[in-house]
Amino acid sequence: MGSESLPPWASQPCMMGIDEAGRGPVLGPMVYGCLYCPLSYQKTLASLKFADSKTLKEEKREELFESLKEDKSIGWAVDVIDPRELSAKMLKKDKINLNQISHDSAMGLVSRVLKMGFLLSEVYVDTVGDAEKYRCKLSEVFPGIRFVVAKKADSLYPVVSGASIVAKVTRDRALRNWVLHESVANTHRNFGSGYPGDPETKSWLDDHKHPIFGFPTLVRFSWGTCSSYFKDAVEVIWEADKEEEDGSNNKSGKRQLKLSSVGFTGQKRKSEEVESSAKGRSKFFQSRKLELVTDFH
């Protein structure tokens, strides 16, 4: 996605803004967007009235997005991260937190635009986590670029405001046109904003929970919000969680949830209950989880 054939200004020093949309919501994709233009275009850009996308109405955002797409001196690109990808990464055995995912996505956009052949000299980024640490990380990966990492960069720098419009419009469209992967009857599309506090989002979650599967894959299972909906769901125990309970790995982010604790009914279960360990038998059988069964239960 994004603009394609290389404009003549690609070889001039360019600036880029990067912002995200849909980081907080419990459902739908997270979108990283960027907008870039030659440094010489900076003044014109400031006159285009790209405010922080959150302060604009949806129609205004759509309108601005359409006009920046037409602008021959502006390029843009997006990275749409599927909620399945977010859940999978945040619930991996070696968990990847949302900040890490965000950093990777932003860096992916920078390298994509560099590879297309644009000469990026300045990149403005709305911060995720500690701004200075983030800036150091970016500068290390892209030594030729000057990075400005700031809180509320989307309201400070027009190029980031533009990026936030790109990201927000893309996220809204993606959610609006979302096709559920599940073939379940009685689904509806009143997702609301996707933010956990939104009553519409809450009732969508209520309407689409499932005792075994939890939710459709539109939902980010790694969000803490999911836990209250799983209270009466079937308990599922994963090996990765067992290790976590045993101590050591407790650095998981606030939003990440231990699914094993969901619906727990009291006593802890030992791994032997979950799968056969072939205890006391030859190593050949132990490593193959082969157990001698004399009767079934």
Annotation: binding site for a divalent metal cation: 19-20, 126
Among 23, 60, 84, 255, binds another protein (CB under 8 A): 84
Q: How many CB atoms lie within 10 A of CB 154?
A: 29
Segment contacting another protein (CB under 8 A): 11-19, 70-78, 204-212, 243-251? 204-212
At residue 228, the 3 state secondary structure works out as: helix
β-bridge partners, 111? none
234 contacts another protein (rule: CB under 8 A)? yes
Segment contacting another protein (CB under 8 A): 42-50, 152-160, 217-225, 244-252? 217-225
The owner of tokens 């233009």 is 37
Please state, in angstroms and rounded to a whole number, the distance separating the CA atoms of residues 183 and 291.
Answer: 38
239 contacts another protein (rule: CB under 8 A)? yes
274 contacts another protein (rule: CB under 8 A)? yes
97 contacts another protein (rule: CB under 8 A)? no
Quote the tokens at residue 177.
């046109």
287 contacts another protein (rule: CB under 8 A)? yes
Among 182, 200, 207, 243, binds another protein (CB under 8 A): 182
Q: Under a CB-based contact definition with an 8 Å cutoff, are residues 200 and 235 in contact?
A: no
At residue 35, the 3 state secondary structure works out as: strand
Among 47, 183, 186, 250, binds another protein (CB under 8 A): 183
72 contacts another protein (rule: CB under 8 A)? no
Name every residue whose Cβ is closer than 8 Å to that of residue 51 and which is 6 or more positions away in sequence: 155, 161
Name every residue whose Cβ is closer than 8 Å to that of residue 263 and which is 6 or more positions away in sequence: 230, 231, 232, 233, 234, 235
210 contacts another protein (rule: CB under 8 A)? yes
Closest distance of CB 197 from another protein, Å? 21
Quote the tokens at residue 74.
């502006």
Inter-CA distances, 88 with 3, 24, 81, 220, Å: 30, 17, 11, 9
288 contacts another protein (rule: CB under 8 A)? yes
Residues that bind another protein (CB under 8 A): 84, 87-88, 90-93, 181-184, 210-214, 216-217, 219-222, 234-240, 259, 263, 269, 273-275, 284, 287-290, 292, 294-297
